[in-house]
Amino acid sequence: MTDFVGLSRAARTLPGQDTQDRLWSAWFALSVWHFVKAASPVGWLPYSTHVQGQRCTLGFTVEDLAEEHARRAGIAHRNVTSQVLSLAPDNVVRLVPKLQTYGVVGLVVDTGPDAFYAPLHALPRMLDRYRPLPVGMSPVAPPRPAAPATVDQFLALPAWHLATTQDDPNHPELTARGSELVAHVYSTRAARPTVTMAPRDVLALLADLELVQRVCFDGGLEVELVDLRLADR
């Protein structure tokens, strides 16, 4: 059995691409992910709750952990044989748009001191990156150029891809972090609605929106908006 506690601790205490890759490769290698069931008009969905101010769906590496969480949370659906919803990673990714309509913004795996987290919108790209190849197959696509990793590299790009809402392609999609709002920018087109703009135009647009304080690049690097505007001068 995979030691997810050890992998999660390594990613937390020795942060870097190597430890992150080992953790997420192990998670996406699982044949199914386990969730607590939540009823919805379209059937069972993964249960979600607020974690540090954000609504997150709770995933579990083994079924028993999901059952245990359901008991602790007092979740008991009638006329079901199990409170657990087990889904293949591909099927979870297909549910991302539906979960987002309920305000879910993140995935927390194995709640507790050794939990690990991913933004919900990043799951499609993470699935492409981390899921194992079928036996006998090897990658055929050439390696992608390294994504920008610093503020200066992002500012040097000719264009940014600003995440927008489903209903209004001209309005940025914003994530609440307490009293602040975070905008999401990508170096390449993402598997979600985006609008392509020059970096300076994106910064000017965000500066006019009240409470927007930070920008998250490629689902990882977060920078204060005021610092970005100063660096862009």
Q: Is the pLDDT at 139 greater than 70, yes or no?
A: no
Winning range, highest mean pLDDT, from 12-16, 41-45, 107-111: 107-111
| CB neighbour list of residue 194: distance below 8 Å, 6 or more residues apart | 161, 162, 163, 164, 186
- Look at the domain 151-231 and name its fold: Trna Endonuclease; Chain: A, domain 1 (3.40.1350)
For the chain, give every residue range classified as CATH 3.40.1350.90. 4-130, 151-231
> What's the pTM value of the predicted model, to 2 decimals?
0.59
- pLDDT above 60 for 64: yes
Comparing 143 with 220, which gets the higher pLDDT?
220
Query: What was the pLDDT predicted at 136?
Result: 61
Give domain 4-130's CATH number out of 3.40.50.720, 3.40.50.300, 3.30.70.141, 3.40.1350.90: 3.40.1350.90
Q: For residue range 34-48, what is the model confidence (pLDDT) as tens digits? A: 999 999 888 899 999
Chain centroid to CA 12: 17
Distance CA 142, CA 225 (A): 34
Distances (CA, A) of 232 to 193, 195, 228: 25, 20, 6
- pLDDT confidence of residue 138: 55
Q: Report which of residues 213 and 231 the model is more confident about.
A: 213
Greatest Cα pair distance in the chain: 62
What is the percentage of the chain residues whose pLDDT exceeds 90? Answer: 47
